[in-house]
């Protein structure tokens, strides 16, 4: 996988591995990561996004966005296969936890390339807004049996 203007190839691979592994091993769902692409400096939020900030030797954001139905499927899988049609307080909490899993696993993978990263507690963004940053997002499209998930990632070494 090639490096982007903002991200080293090793970091791209680390995040790609983290997300598909969490879906597969923690949730028991099929997951396939498509080729990441550069999205530019603004991306749309789907129904639900989990936004996590990164500080340390790298800094930036991981935004994990999906349709509400995908979030319900993920939460249902986290709760042992329940059918969830709407997110209540427990559901919101679960989808934040899912974000923590992905980000935590990404942090572990990044630390294998000698980076030290701290990840903020997640913020959920609910609604079709637009995210803008000063740099560029690299987007990881993940197809899973729970639905499609996009990871918009912008991490770069601290200047």
Binding site for its own copies (CB under 8 A): 45, 51-56, 59-61, 63, 92-93, 96, 118-135, 154
Smallest distance, Å, CB 4 to its own copies?
Answer: 16
Q: Identify which of residues 142 and 154 has a Cβ nearer to its own copies in the complex.
A: 154
Quote the least distance from Cβ 95 to its own copies, whole Å: 9
20 CB-contact burial (10 Å; exposed 0-12 / middle 13-18 / buried 19+): buried
Give the nearest distance from C-beta 89 to its own copies in angstroms.
8
Residue nearer to its own copies on the CB measure, 20 or 61: 61
Closest contact distance (angstroms) between CB of 138 and its own copies is 15
Q: Kindly tell me which of 76 and 99 has the beta carbon lying closer to its own copies.
A: 99
Residue closer to its own copies by CB (options 14, 71) is 71
Bridge partners of 60? 54, 155
- Report the interhelical angle of 89-112 vs 68-78 (nearest 10°): 80
């Amino acid at each position: 996988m090639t490096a982007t203007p903002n991200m080293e190839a090793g970091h791209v691979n680390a995040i790609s591995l983290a997300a598909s592994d969490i879906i597969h091993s923690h949730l028991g769902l099929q997951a396939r990561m498509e080729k990441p692409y550069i999205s530019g400096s603004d991306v749309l939020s789907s129904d639900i996004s989990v936004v996590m900030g990164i500080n340390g030797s790298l800094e930036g954001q991981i935004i994990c966005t999906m349709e509400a139905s995908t979030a319900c499927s993920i939460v249902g899988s986290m709760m042992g296969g329940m059918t969830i049609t709407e997110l209540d307080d427990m559901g919101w909490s679960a989808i934040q936890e899912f974000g923590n899993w992905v980000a935590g696993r990404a942090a572990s993978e990044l630390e294998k390339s000698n980076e030290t990263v701290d990840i903020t507690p997640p913020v959920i963004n609910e609604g079709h807004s637009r995210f803008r940053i000063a740099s560029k997002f690299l987007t990881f499209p993940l197809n899973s049996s729970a639905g499609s998930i996009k990871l918009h990632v912008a991490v770069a070494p601290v200047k």
